[in-house]
Amino acid sequence: MNILEHIEREHVRLDLPDIRVGDTIKVHVRIVEGERERIQVFEGLVIGMNRKRARTSVTVRKVSYGIGVERVFPLHSPMIDKIEIVNRGRVRRSKLYYIRKLRGKAARLKERSPRPS
Amino acid sequence: MVQGLIGKKIGMVQVFDDSGRAVGVTVVQAGPCTVIQKKEGSKVQLGFGSIKDKRVTKPLQGHFRKAGADLFRVLKEFKVDDPDSVEVGQEILADIFDAGDVVKVVGTSKGKGFAGVVKRWNFGGGRATHGSRSHRIPGSVGQCAQPSRVFKGKRLPGRMGGGSVTVPSVLVIEVRPEENLVFLKGPIPGSNGGIVLIRKS
């Protein structure tokens, strides 16, 4: 069992910020198109996280042209160039699935105070 | 070079490959295997895994002594492409494989016990509801007075699993000779800790 844990730990990235549910983040994703490589930014609200060492993933939701878009990113993937935290929201649950039913002003979150309680 | 190794399945884990994709891999501790005997037809007998002295029969102990080697749990034959390059007593390491190789993997599948036809032969089974009383039964097993017997080979319930299973083409994702580890793409037969054979194909 130890060998497997060891192998998985090698893939954990240490350069990522401390992301929490309720944060608004910008994910810079590497996109390979044939020979060329470019970076695409996906900005949205973290509505869920699955914390599993190197398999950790985040679900990011944004509303694009009136349509809700959700993307799940494997956090430790080398395809992720970097992640920026835009805003930290104060939330009281681990999964913000209720946000999907809300629109506009109702879908806002209060900002979290910089010092976590 | 010897065309295969005996190994132990460690388990599965997810890694990211060179192109950044997440791949599920099975980690196998492949080797080190010791050459016990050279055989006719460019083959060698390899030994793998430690074992207590008292568990090895005296005749077999003599066989190991002849090679000047320790006692091993598993003995298997493998092909060699150039028999002159291999000597008895030599250790074969996982570096005979490279990332990108396609290999054949043989393992002993997990035993499933006495299994019905739905599990064992992928029969459809009967209807679940609406008064059906035939849920997982095999149904008819043949005709009537002619031939008045059940044909041999008819797929029926019975012991399932616990047999040798070969996966014909498995991709090698990574090799770590210093740790004797080989990463194979996807699953391979058997439980963790089981003995597997990896052959070049």
Q: What is the pLDDT of residue A28?
A: 93
Which two three-digit tokens encode residue B145?
């007075």
**Residue A2 CA: distances (Å) to CA of A48, B27, B71, B177:** 29, 12, 27, 18
B154 & B185 share domain? no
Question: Are residues B126 and B60 both part of a single domain?
Answer: no
> Do A7 and B13 make contact, defined as CB atoms within 8 angstroms?
yes
The Cα–Cα gap between B188 and B105 comes to 7
Spatial CA neighbour of B26 closest among B178, B150, B196 = B196
Q: What is the pLDDT of residue A116?
A: 56
Q: What is the mean pLDDT of chain B?
A: 88
Domain co-membership, B49 together with B126: no
Number of domains in chain A: 1
Q: What share of chain B is helix, strand, coil (3-state, %, to 5)?
A: 15, 40, 45
**Whether B129 and B140 share a structural domain:** yes
User: What number of residues does chain A have?
Assistant: 117
Same domain, B68 and B128: no
A73 interface with B at CB cutoff 8 Å: no
Largest CA distance in chain B: 71
Calculate mean pLDDT across residues B64-82: 84
For residues B65 and B102, state if they share a domain. yes
Nearest by CB to A7, which of B15, B22, B29? B15
- Its domain, for residue B150, covers 115-160
Residue A108: inside a domain: no
| Backbone φ and ψ of A105, nearest 5° | -60, -35
Mean pLDDT of B33-49: 86
Q: Is residue A113 part of a domain?
A: no
For residue B34, what are the CA distances in angstroms to A22, A60, B48, B105, B137? 57, 53, 7, 19, 50
Percent over 70 (pLDDT), chain B: 100
Chains A–B, number of C-beta pairs less than 8 Å apart: 34
Whether residue A46 is contained in a domain is answered as: yes
CA distances from B30 to A69, A90, A113, B64, B93 (A): 45, 50, 53, 21, 7
In the predicted model, is pLDDT for residue B99 greater than 90? no
Question: Of B164, B163, B161, nearest to B112 (Cα)?
Answer: B161
**Same domain flag for B90 and B179:** yes
CATH number, domain containing residue A61: 2.30.30.790
The CATH number assigned to the domain holding B179 equals 2.40.30.10
Is B68 in the same domain as B43? yes
Find the residue in A nearest to B181 (Cα): A3
pLDDT attached to residue A1: 57
| pLDDT tens, position by position, A64-100 | 998 999 999 999 999 999 999 998 888 889 999 999 9
Whether the CB of B193 is below 8 Å from some CB of chain A: the reply is no
Query: Which stretches of B42-130 are assigned E, i.e. beta strand?
Result: 43-48, 74-79, 91-92, 102-108, 113-115
Examine residue A23 and state whether it is found in any structural domain, yes or no: yes
What average pLDDT does chain A have?
Answer: 87
Per the domain annotation, does A89 fall within a domain?
A: yes
Domain range enclosing A50: 3-101
DSSP A81: E
B22–chain A Cβ distance below 8 A for any pair: yes
Q: What is the pLDDT of residues A10-51, one digit of tens each?
A: 888 898 899 999 999 999 999 888 888 899 999 999 999 999
Is B63 in the same domain as B74? yes
Q: Evaluate whether residue A116 is within a structural domain.
A: no
What DSSP designation does A96 have? -
- Please judge whether B10 and A3 are an interchain contact, meaning their C-beta atoms are less than 8 angstroms apart: yes
The rounded distance, in Å, linking the Cα atoms of B198 and B64 is: 23
B78 and B171 inside one domain: yes
Domain total of chain B:
2
Q: Are residues B17 and B110 in the same domain?
A: yes
Q: Is it the case that residue B121 has pLDDT exceeding 80?
A: yes
In Å, how far is B5's CA from the nearest CA of chain A? 20
With an 8 Å Cβ cutoff, are A7 and B19 in contact? no
Task: Judge if B123 and B153 occupy the same domain.
Answer: yes
